[in-house]
Amino acid sequence: MSRTPAHLDPRLLRAFVTVAEELHFTRAAARLYLAQQALSRDVRRLERELGAELFVRTTRQVTLTADGERLLPYARRVLAAQDELLGAFRQARPLLVDLNSPGLGTGRRVLLRARELAPEQELMARYESGLGGAALELLAGRLDVSFGRFAGLEPALRAGLAHRPVRYEPMAVVLPEDHRLAALAEVPLAALAGESVYAGAGNPRTPEWTDLARRLFEGRGIAVAPPAPFAVGDEEFGRIMAKTRNPVLAVVDFPAMPRTVLRPLVEPVPLSPVSLVWRKGLVHPGFNTLVRAAAEIGSAENWLIRPADGWIPAMDVDMIKT
């Protein structure tokens, strides 16, 4: 071969290998579902790019030249590698779905319903503890989907993500079982005046939740509790909260913790705006199923109907409209 091109189109190599195996242009064209003229054109183009004749063509037969015989094993290896690569990417990889924390209701319920709708798809749960932490993993491709308050993310993070509102989730407070408000069936926000309520302050994975708490508590005499030691796991979180004895801002589906009670907040009913959040450009059949599951549950249970006395921050309302 007289020269080496910078690039070779694998399609041209496939045309060459098929003719080399059949030693007949008509049969090779049929095998590739091409017109014989198109196949001949591809082979001639490859020969021009390589600067070498690859076949001896006569009216009676086609045979490989010395350059053709030299090229054949390399071309086969290139095509085998390409087939292996494409095969690996055609395999359905799991959709990695962040649920923030084990036991939380909205994301978990959507995931479980999606698994029922498409049992053949692999939807795998992950737990990043908050959308703020998950957003970086989404952008890096280490997660596919998460749930949380999209408006609470930094603009630079939001720029690479898309979201779809899923639920206005009523908020609640977790109280020590001997707290002065524990006997109430519902806790009016005004009753928390003078309290320091834990809302994840200092946790780099949940800034959107702490920001929501600050907006809710503003002007109501409720303080955001100072940062507590970062606790991994329900047991450690419960131990730290029992030690500080701060009420904990939560949602109505928050999992039970020992020696505590969960009480809905009212007057007004604060709502946590939960969105399905994903990396822009994500394509995966499991994602479509997840969207379908969220819409199905949301419609059946009025997840996106705001009660008359419901409260969410104005910035969240504006973002939902856009």
pLDDT in tens, 238-253: 677 777 788 999 999 8
Query: Which of 85-99, 133-147, 156-170, 271-285 is predicted with the least confidence, judged by mean pLDDT?
Result: 85-99
pLDDT band at 186 (very low <50, low <70, confident <90, very high): very high
User: Is 231 within 8 Å of 224 (Cβ atoms)?
Assistant: no
Q: What is the pLDDT of residues 85-137, one digit of tens each?
A: 766 665 568 999 999 877 668 999 999 999 999 999 999 999 887 899 999 99
Give one DSSP letter per residue of 117-174, joined into a string: H-TTS-EEEE--SSHHHHHHHHHHTS-SEEEE-GGGS-HHHHTTEEEEEEEEEEEEEE
Span 226-244, mean pLDDT? 71
Of 213, 222, 215, 173, nearest to 193 by C-alpha is: 222
Which residues, including other chains, have CB under 8 Å from residue 4's CB and lie 6 or more apart?
50
- How confident is the model at residue 73, as a pLDDT? 94
- Residue range(s) of every CATH 3.40.190.290 domain in the chain: 95-321
Residue ranges of the chain that CATH labels 1.10.10.10: 10-90
Cα–Cα distance, 29 to 311 (Å, whole number)? 68
Can you spell out the DSSP letters for 75-117? HHHHHHHHHHHHHHHHS-PPEEEE-SSTT-HHHHHHHHHHHHH
pLDDT category at 322 given cuts 50, 70, 90 is low
Q: Is the pLDDT of residue 237 over 80?
A: no
pLDDT at 89: 61
Could you tell me the fold of the domain covering 95-321? D-Maltodextrin-Binding Protein; domain 2 (3.40.190)
Residue 5 pLDDT: 63
Architecture of domain 10-90 in this structure = Orthogonal Bundle (1.10)
Q: Which residues pair with 35 in a beta bridge?
A: none
